[in-house]
Amino acid sequence: MRRFILIILAFFLVFINTSALAVSNFTKKEVKTSAVDGFNLKATLAYPKSKTQKEFSTVVLLHSLGYNSAWWGELEKDLLNKGFAVLAVDLRGHGASIYNSKLTKTSWKDLKNSAYAKYPDDVIKVIAQVKDDNPKKVFFNSWAIVGANIGASTGVLAADKMKEKPQAIVMISPVTQTKDLYIPVSIAQLDNVDFLSITGDGEVEAQRDEAYLKKFAQKNFANYVSPAKTSGMLLLKNDPELSRIIAAWLDEYLD
């Protein structure tokens, strides 16, 4: 019994050391900024540690309605292992982004469509804050967006507004319009952006919207149907291969 316990303890220590080594390979920072209306926005920026590398291709992660940036699971790790920086944003009313200008907690459940309409500008503000916080590093010369549901819509609209366009956008369970965020026109204006649309097996509405949105794409518009019979962020949880598929696809487009 004693020998068995020692073996288990040794294995545990090896596991801890291996995990610590893996974590030590990356830098992770909290990003804080305020929206135009004073709403407090938070995100996390992670990127590989390097004494010489000053420029990183970046993937912005925008979650589904009712979720937060902690739900991305293995995708963040797979992207970091590809050498990308990862900016995981908590959209207003979610995760750590729940305090308005008066420091009153505000849930996404209480937001009106006029507040959801500010999501694209919120993301632009977070990206601008990353640039301000890291003047000696470059994160957005080569970049992409991964969004689910309203996160995908937010990403498309934000990209349309920005001067520095992303190279690629991944839309998980895309919707033509949600919370008054209508994206077909913006997709048509992103003429140098490649799209990957992902739906779950049996996602009839999302696949119908996907087919409609594809008509507006000016460049490549690929699609992938996951065998998981669910939608949005839960696709990543129920289809372990999906994170690797997304990371590999983005690796073709980002420098």
Q: How far is CA 146 from CA 1, 79, 161, in A?
A: 49, 11, 17
Residue with tokens 């598929």: 245
Confidence of residue 4 (pLDDT cuts 50, 70, 90): very low
pLDDT in tens, 186-242: 999 999 999 999 999 999 999 999 999 999 999 999 999 999 999 999 999 999 999
pLDDT in tens, 137-166: 999 999 999 999 999 999 999 999 999 999
pLDDT of residue 255 exceeding 90: no
Q: DSSP character for 163? A: S
What would the mean pLDDT of 132-140 be, rounded to a whole number?
96
Q: Are strands 143-148 and 58-62 parallel, antiparallel or unpaired?
A: parallel
CA–CA separation, 154 and 139 (whole Å): 20
The model scores a pTM over 0.85: yes
CA–CA separation, 251 and 255 (whole Å): 8
The domains of the chain, with CATH numbers, are: 27-251 (3.40.50.1820)
pLDDT of residue 20 exceeding 90: no
Confidence of residue 51 (pLDDT cuts 50, 70, 90): confident
